[in-house]
Each structure stands twice: as structure tokens, then as C-alpha cells.
Amino acid sequence: YSCSKYITFAVLLANVVASNAVIAASRMPGSAPVSYLGPWPKDVGIIALELYFPSQYVDQTELEEFDGVPAGKYTVGLGQARMGFCSDREDINSLCLTVVQRLMEKNALSYNSIGRLEVGTETIIDKSKSVKTALMQLFENSGNTDVEGIDSTNACYGGTAALFNAVNWVESSSWDGRYALVVAGDIAVYATGSARPTGGAGAVAILIGPNAPLAFERGLRGTHMQHAYDFYKPDMVSEYPVVDGKLSIQCYLSALDRCYSVYRNKIHAQWQREGSDKSFSLEDFGFLVFHSPYCKLVQKSLARLMLNDFLNHPSPNTETGPFTGLEAFRYSQSKPEDTYFDRDVEKAFMKASTDMFERKTKASLLISNQNGNMYTPSVYGCLASLIAQHTPSQMAGQRIGVFSYGSGFAATLYSLRVTQDHIPGSSLDKLVLSLSDLKTRLDSRKKVSPALFSENMKLREDTHHLANYVPQGSVEDLFPGTWYLTRVDDKHRREYARRPLDDDLPAESERVRSSSATEVQEE
């Protein structure tokens, strides 16, 4: 009897194994349940973040007068105060060289510690050679050439695409234990006209790894991708884009609606698996940051998300609280997609979201307001601004919603979870401390007259992509430690030098050249 029992058990076990094998064989790739997945590094996310913006700016109030537009058009209508810009001494390579070296030096990192380097940009100076290859010049002294990654391009979304690739690499079987480094940089310039005050320039470097103070929440991304000609750059010899302003706003807001809907559905599903029937709303975000073409659009975007919460709530309280007096909009015959330019809806929900904007989003607009639109680094400049203006204890444990948008168009809403550990010396404390000088750096810039700004834009326009060109801009006006363009030779190869961190040193203490065998030499 005992022998028979074990034989029966063995047969049953064999049948179960065979059945599971059949199920596994019939399952589509990637459809394995979460419980079948192997381990991955814990809390992969942002460990360090460094930001670079130009050393000169134009005042938007003065630009209004210079352009002959009504007072307040740029400052009130767009929400912009100052706009940073680059002379012909800076290009996309120099911006990215500067921000990478700043991050590495500030965090005392070895270039051997980087295993992936990826760039997001739409500022193209070469149709083949990537910005990432130019940045590899910084790695030469270390001997580290085993660095994966390349450039990602799609308007202002390229930086986020590069960031996701870096996070995925750390969480994958390809990871070798080293950090990933993401660089987003752009020079946003427009032809003379109504779009010019929405320009800006800058770069951000983001260090990615495990046990991060700002960890990506797994599975919580809402993405929307669609075809549109809202903003694009078909002229290969010009820095200027073609812009359909109204369509661009419509695309941005429609992408925001759809990304929020997908994100909300995913977090609901996650909570249900955990046994919770709680409904998600904007109050479940501690902070919200957005891609910021200009500050007023961000304020309108938060109002738009509140409209989404209002319309999706089964029975919103319109007697007290943020939805007070909004009952008429609940029974409007208009579809949500018909309200992008509805002034009554916009005004009502901007007013309703005022308190939330003050608490969750306003602090993120420091860089955007003072430096303008940086394209791919824009949303990460907003993240840096948020961190710089809060203490570690205020940030600890918060969920940060991040909305990234790129014309054409591509968008994602995702979330970061801030670590609870905020004691002095913690990774969060170090991150906050590293960004604490943002206001001081902004205030140390040089104000330039609108006339001189206009001359700089004309010089960039006339000399863009010229061979045998020696830049005319002043090196002394650059921040210490800034990389800058020294010349473009007859084969369009670009040479760079770095302004010393110590102003007492000679002006060109380091040089690099973007050629087939680049060099870093001390003079």
C-alpha cells in the first residue's frame, strides 16, 4: 500500500509538471506572471543630478519693450521672467561636456564607475556622429571605453527615453554593476517672432543606480505616442523649428489626459492586487513636475489634471473643498477633448487648483521661470528646482509625479518614490545639498540687453554649421569650468577647451578635439 501511494504521488507530480510545461510553452513571450520573475536591483533610480545653464540671460520685461509687444505678454501671459541663451562659443557638445564633468567632479566619481552613458537631445550638429561619442573624450584618461548607450531623439522627450533606457539597463541581465549616466541637453532658439521668448538652453546629467534616494516606481508609467506636426525641424541647415502653436498645446494637453488615465488605471490595478479598493487622485502625489515650454502652460496642466479627477470621481463634493461651485461642468455637453481651449473650463479649474499648485508644483518652476525652456532637460530642471527648494525631511517618503512631453508626439507620466531616510549624510541629504546653490548660480549670471541678445541670435543663425569658423563670443563671460567651442576646421571637426575652475589659471587649460583620435592635453 505504501509503495502504491508513492507511485500515485509521483504520477500526479509528473502530470502537474507536464501541465505547467504545456502552459509555459503556449504563453506568449513576456506574459509570465510577476511571481515568476527573477530578482532585480532594489530601488533603481536617481542618485545624483547636476544642472548647467548659460552664464547670460535677457530680461523678459525688457524683451517685451524691445519687441514692441504689450507689457505682460511674456511675463504674465507666458509666466517667464528671464531667458538664458548661448553665444556662438557654446554648442550641444560643449553643454554636455560641461554638465558631465561637473557631476563627476562634484560627486568625486571615477569615469571607470560608468557602464552606460546615454544622451537625449534634439539639437543636432551632425546627422551621424552622436553627442555621446563626443562625451567619451572625458573618459580617455581613465581608459574606460566599455560604455554602452547612444543618443535618443524625439523633440523634448529624448531625455526621458534615455533615462528609461538607463533604468532598464540597470534592471536587466546586461547590467555589470556600474552606474548609468544620462545626459539631456539642448539649445532652444526660435526665429524672430512670438515664439522667440519661449527659448532657453541648458543641460542636465543624471546618475542612475540601485539604492537610490529617488526610485522609479515599477510598472507605474502611462505613455501616449501619436503622429502630429505640432513642432518639428525639417530644415537641416537651420536651428529654428516649424511650430503650430495651437496644435502644439492641443497635443500636449491631450497627451497629458491620456497618460494620466493610463497611469491611474495601472496604480488602481496595483493597489487591487495588494487588497486595496482605494481610488487614486492627485492628492496621492506629494509633488508634480511637468515639461515646461513656459510656466503658464504648467499651471494650466495641473488644472487639466484636476478636471480629470473631477470628471472621473463618482460623486464629487461640489459644496465644499476644491470642487466647490463646479457642478455645472460635470453635466456639460462638451467632451473632455473639446475643452482644450474652453476659457470657462480653464479659468474655473485653474482657480480650483490654486492651492494644489502652490503646494505641489510652483517650486518646480524656478529654472523654467528664470532660464526658459531647455527642451529635453526641461522637466528635469523642474525636478532639480523642486529638490533645491525643499529640505530632505520635506521630500522624504513623497511620491513625485513626472510628466514628460516631446512634440511629434511622445509623452509619459511616471512616478518617483523618495526614500524615507533623510538623516544627515544620507543619499537624499547629499542630493538636496548638491542642488542647494541653484538660486545663487542663477543670480550670478550676467544680464544682457535685448539688442545684444538679438545680435547673438543673428550671429548663430549666420554661422550655424559653417566650416573654418572661429567663434567670436567672449570666453571670460562663461562660468568657470565651462567647456566651449574654440574652432570648427575645414572638415567640420569641432575643437573645445575648458575654462578653468580657478580664474587665476591660463584661459585654456584643457583642450579636446572631436576628430577620429580625440585628445585631452594640458597646456
- Greatest Cα pair distance, the chain, in angstroms, is 101
Residue 393 backbone phi and psi in degrees, to 5: -70, -35
Residue pair 439/384 in contact (Cβ under 8 Å)? The answer is: no
One-letter amino acid for residue 427 of the chain: S
Residue 96 annotated in active site: no
Instruction: Match 536587466 to its residue by C-alpha cell.
Output: 172
Residue pair 226/337 in contact (Cβ under 8 Å)? The answer is: no
Per the annotation, binding residues are: 248, 296, 300
Does a cis peptide bond (omega within 30 degrees of 0) precede residue 85? Answer: no
One-letter amino acid for residue 73 of the chain: K
**Structure-block grid coordinates of residue 123:** 539639437
Does a cis peptide bond (omega within 30 degrees of 0) precede residue 9? Answer: no
Nearby residues of 351 by Cβ (< 8 Å), 6 or more positions away:
none
**Structure-block grid coordinates of residue 173:** 541581465
Terminal-to-terminal C-alpha distance of the chain: 91
C-alpha distances in angstroms, 272 versus 50, 255, 280, 284, 483? 38, 26, 11, 16, 51
**Structure-block grid coordinates of residue 474:** 567672449
One-letter amino acid for residue 155 of the chain: A
Nearby residues of 162 by Cβ (< 8 Å), 6 or more positions away:
118, 119, 120, 149, 151, 152, 182, 183, 184
* Dist. CA 364–CA 378, nearest whole Å: 10
CA atoms within 13 A on the CB side of 139: 19
Q: At how many degrees (to 10) do helices 60-67 and 450-463 cross?
A: 80
Per the annotation, binding residues for CoA are: 248, 296, 300
Annotated active-site residue in 156, 251, 295, 382: 156
Annotated active-site residue in 64, 90, 291, 422: 291
3-state secondary structure of 115: strand
* Dist. CA 246–CA 120, nearest whole Å: 26
Residue 291 annotated in active site: yes
Residue 492 annotated in active site: no
Annotated active-site residue in 122, 148, 239, 346: 122
C-alpha distances in angstroms, 119 versus 146, 198, 284, 305, 403? 16, 23, 31, 30, 19
C-alpha distances in angstroms, 185 versus 11, 51, 218, 493? 63, 10, 26, 20
Catalytic residue numbers read 122, 156, 291
